[in-house]
Structure 1
Amino acid sequence: MLKEERHAFILKALETRHKVLTIELSQSLGVSEDTIRRDLKELADAGRVKKVHGGAVSHSLNPFHYKDREIYAHEEKILIAEKAKSLIRPHQVVIMDGGTTNTELARRLPPDLKATIFTNSLPVAVELTDHPSIEIIFMGGRLLKDAQVTVGEEVVATLSGIRADVCILGTRSLDAQMGITEIDWEETKVKRAILHAANESIALVIPEKIGTVQPYIIGEPGELSVLVSTLARRDPRLRPFHEMGIEIL
């Protein structure tokens, strides 16, 4: 098989699976693993794929400005927020990070819910400002303008002194093998600290983010307690997470 044909095969596989493994490509194409590694390097150098240990992954959603992401898949985010709002129980200490789905959740929390919410998200904090029963603790730091979240050592230090009941993670990418991943290194450090500061963790994920991977690892998929999406519980994309013992909503 010609190199161009192998490249086309790899790209086609990534369109449907979002990730490919060197050993599987070697077997499927009948060439050595070294040949596949060279192919993946060429595709990565051309900006067509992202190389990872043992294979390659597709490029996921572009990191649009927050205002652009706010209108993207808006109806799905509303459905996810409606599912998730019952997961925050009275008198809990909660950490909510950034993301447009988290903002939708903040917008829909019942007015009689009494809770303390730590957040590094400006939109989440603003949405909760008029909530009559929720105490808001905004974690200050350096502001990422596109994402409208704070990052840096100040945020991480604040999180190190918290043991929350639950955290609500806005999720860029989630994969059953590669875990929870992020495109921005500063956000990754904060999200890691959030994950480690809570007894339970909830991921709000629109379907197209499932099976995608970004360069920086936040945590293993098994660290999640609950995964909330718009997919049916029996959807094959959710089966690996269900088998890990993660509650699916």
Structure 2
Amino acid sequence: MLTSQRRALISARLASDGQIVAGELAQELGLSEDTIRRDLRDMATAGLLKRVHGGALPVTPPLPDLETRQTMSTDVKRRLGRKAAELVRRGQLIFIDGGTTNAELVRALPRDMALTIATHSPAIAALLDKHRAEVILIGGRLYKHSMVATGAAALAAIATLRPDIFFLGATAIHPSHGLSTGDYEEAAIKRAITAQSAETIVLMTEEKFGAVSPHRIAGIEEITALIMPADIAPETSAPYRQKAVRIIEA
């Protein structure tokens, strides 16, 4: 098989299966594993895939800026936000991550509900100005792409909190590689909040499934519940339904 044919096959398998296991593909094609690994290395250098231990995964598309994300999948995000709001109880301390889907959660919360909301996102905090909830705004170095605070000051403040629920945002979710995001410091903040929280709940739109971003947040087994669109493709959702995580459809 020519190099171009192998690489076309690898691209097609990534699109259909969501991953490549080098050893399995080498055995299937009757080639050495070194040959497949060399193909994966060259394709990764060309930006065509992301190499991981033992194989490869699809490349996560670059995350659009915040203004663009606010116009994407708005109906789906509203459904996810409303379903997440149903899980919040009066008197709780909840931590809301940044992001446009979590913004829909805030909009769905009853304005007269007495609770405490912590966030490291100025954009999320600004949406709470008409709510009865007490708001704790975590400060630090502003990561402008996501409009969230990061760094040592943010970590120190997070360490003093014990949220009942953390509504976590991520740019990618994969059944084997878990939840991930594109920024090293932002991932560290998300891990810290997860560690402090009694429950971690993730709201995910369909395009984020089966992908991996550069910086790991948590494994699927480390979250309490995953809220996903009810109309998500069955082949997309199936690997997550096999995990020890509560699936909530919206």
Change (3 A) 1:74 1:28: farther
Name the structure 2 match of 1:139. 138
The TM-score with structure 2 as length reference comes to 0.94
The question of whether the paired residues in 2 share the 8 Å contact of 1:222 and 1:241 is answered with no
**Which region of structure 1 is more displaced relative to structure 2, 29-38 or 10-19?**
10-19
The question of whether the paired residues in 1 share the 8 Å contact of 2:81 and 2:101 is answered with yes
Unaligned 5+ segments in structure 1 are none
Name the structure 1 match of 2:75. 75
The question of whether the paired residues in 1 share the 8 Å contact of 2:22 and 2:55 is answered with yes
1:241 CA drift (Å): 2.8
**Per-residue Cα deviation, 1:3-37 (whole angstroms, up to 9, x for no partner):** 11111111111123332111222123221111111
1:168 aligns with 2:140: no
**Which region of structure 1 is more displaced relative to structure 2, 17-26 or 141-150?**
17-26
Name the structure 2 match of 1:151. 150
Name the structure 2 match of 1:59. 59
Unaligned 5+ segments in structure 2 are none
Name the structure 2 match of 1:49. 49
**Per-residue Cα deviation, 1:207-242 (whole angstroms, up to 9, x for no partner):** 121111112111111011111011359934333333
Change (3 A) 1:232 1:63: closer
1:67 CA drift (Å): 0.7
The TM-score with structure 1 as length reference comes to 0.95
CA distance, structure 2, for counterparts of residue 186 and residue 87 of structure 1: 29
1:204 CA drift (Å): 0.3
- SS of residue matched to 1:71: coil
1:39 CA drift (Å): 0.3
1:112 CA drift (Å): 2.5
Name the structure 1 match of 2:97. 97
CA distance, structure 2, for counterparts of residue 89 and residue 16 of structure 1: 41
- Report 1:1-249 matches (<5 A): 1-131=1-131, 133-232=132-231, 235-249=234-248
CA distance, structure 2, for counterparts of residue 70 and residue 18 of structure 1: 27
The question of whether the paired residues in 1 share the 8 Å contact of 2:111 and 2:130 is answered with no
CA distance, structure 1, for counterparts of residue 227 and residue 4 of structure 2: 40
**Which region of structure 1 is more displaced relative to structure 2, 207-216 or 33-42?**
207-216
CA distance, structure 2, for counterparts of residue 230 and residue 70 of structure 1: 18
1:88 CA drift (Å): 1.1
- SS of residue matched to 1:155: helix
Q: How many residues align?
A: 248
The question of whether the paired residues in 2 share the 8 Å contact of 1:233 and 1:248 is answered with no
- Paired letter, 1:229: M
The question of whether the paired residues in 1 share the 8 Å contact of 2:58 and 2:211 is answered with yes
CA distance, structure 2, for counterparts of residue 12 and residue 236 of structure 1: 16
The question of whether the paired residues in 2 share the 8 Å contact of 1:10 and 1:20 is answered with yes
- SS of residue matched to 1:87: coil
**Per-residue Cα deviation, 1:158-214 (whole angstroms, up to 9, x for no partner):** 111211111001121111100111111111001111111101010000012111111
- Paired letter, 2:185: E
Change (3 A) 1:68 1:233: closer
The question of whether the paired residues in 1 share the 8 Å contact of 2:119 and 2:137 is answered with yes
Tell me the percent identity.
36
CA distance, structure 2, for counterparts of residue 195 and residue 18 of structure 1: 27
1:92 CA drift (Å): 0.7
Cα RMSD after superposing both structures = 1.5
- Paired letter, 1:32: S
- SS of residue matched to 1:167: strand
**Which region of structure 1 is more displaced relative to structure 2, 73-82 or 229-238?**
229-238
